Amino acid sequence: METVHNAAVVKHGNEYIMLFRSHLRTGRSIIGLARSPDGFHFTADPEPFLTPARDGPFAAYEEYGVEDPRVTPLEGQYVITYSAYSRNGVRVALAKTSDFHHVEKFSLITQADYRNVVIFPEKFNGLYARLDRPHSEIAPWSIWISYSPDLRFWGESQLIMRPEQYHWDEMKIGPGAPPIKTDQGWLSIYHGVFQTMDGSVYRLGVALHDPQNPAHIIGVGESWILQPEDP
- Residue 59 pLDDT class (50, 70, 90 cuts): very high
Could you report the per-residue pLDDT of 75-131, keeping only the tens digit for each?
Answer: 999 999 999 999 999 999 999 999 999 999 999 999 999 999 999 999 999 999 999
Instruction: In whole angstroms, give the CA distance from residue 168 to residue 123.
Output: 32
Contacts of 64 by beta carbon, 8 Å cutoff, 6+ apart? 28, 52, 85, 86, 87
pTM score, whole prediction: 0.95
Instruction: In whole angstroms, give the CA distance from residue 202 to residue 189.
Output: 13
Domains 1-109 and 113-231 fall in the same CATH topology: yes
Element (H, E) at 59: helix 59-62
Instruction: In whole angstroms, give the CA distance from residue 177 to residue 25.
Output: 28
Asked if residue 203 lies in contact with residue 226, where contact means CB atoms within 8 angstroms, the answer is yes
Q: Give residue 53's pLDDT.
A: 97
Asked if residue 166 lies in contact with residue 222, where contact means CB atoms within 8 angstroms, the answer is no
DSSP state of 168: T
Q: Give residue 94's pLDDT.
A: 98
At residue 1, does pLDDT exceed 80?
no
From the candidate CATH numbers 3.40.640.10, 3.30.465.10, 2.115.10.20, 2.30.30.60, the one assigned to the domain spanning 113-231? 2.115.10.20
Could you report the per-residue pLDDT of 171-196, keeping only the tens digit for each?
Answer: 999 999 999 999 999 999 999 999 99
Residue spans of the domains in the chain: they are 1-109, 113-231
Q: Give residue 137's pLDDT.
A: 85
Contacts of 186 by beta carbon, 8 Å cutoff, 6+ apart? 120, 179, 180, 208, 209, 210, 211, 214
In the sheet that holds 155-161, the strands lie side by side as 114-119, 128-134, 143-148, 155-161
Could you report the per-residue pLDDT of 4-55, keeping only the tens digit for each?
Answer: 999 999 999 999 999 999 999 999 999 999 999 999 999 999 999 999 999 9
- Residue 74 pLDDT class (50, 70, 90 cuts): very high
CA 50 to chain centre: 15
Instruction: In whole angstroms, give the CA distance from residue 59 to residue 168.
Output: 38
Could you tell me if residue 156 is left (phi over 0), alpha (psi between -120 and 50 degrees) or otherwise beta? left
* Fold category of 1-109 in CATH: Tachylectin-2; Chain A (2.115.10)
Give the N- to C-terminal CA distance of the chain in Å, as an integer. 23
Closest among 57, 95, 99 to 76, alpha carbons compared: 99
Partners of 16 in the β-ladder = 11, 36
Q: Give residue 136's pLDDT.
A: 83
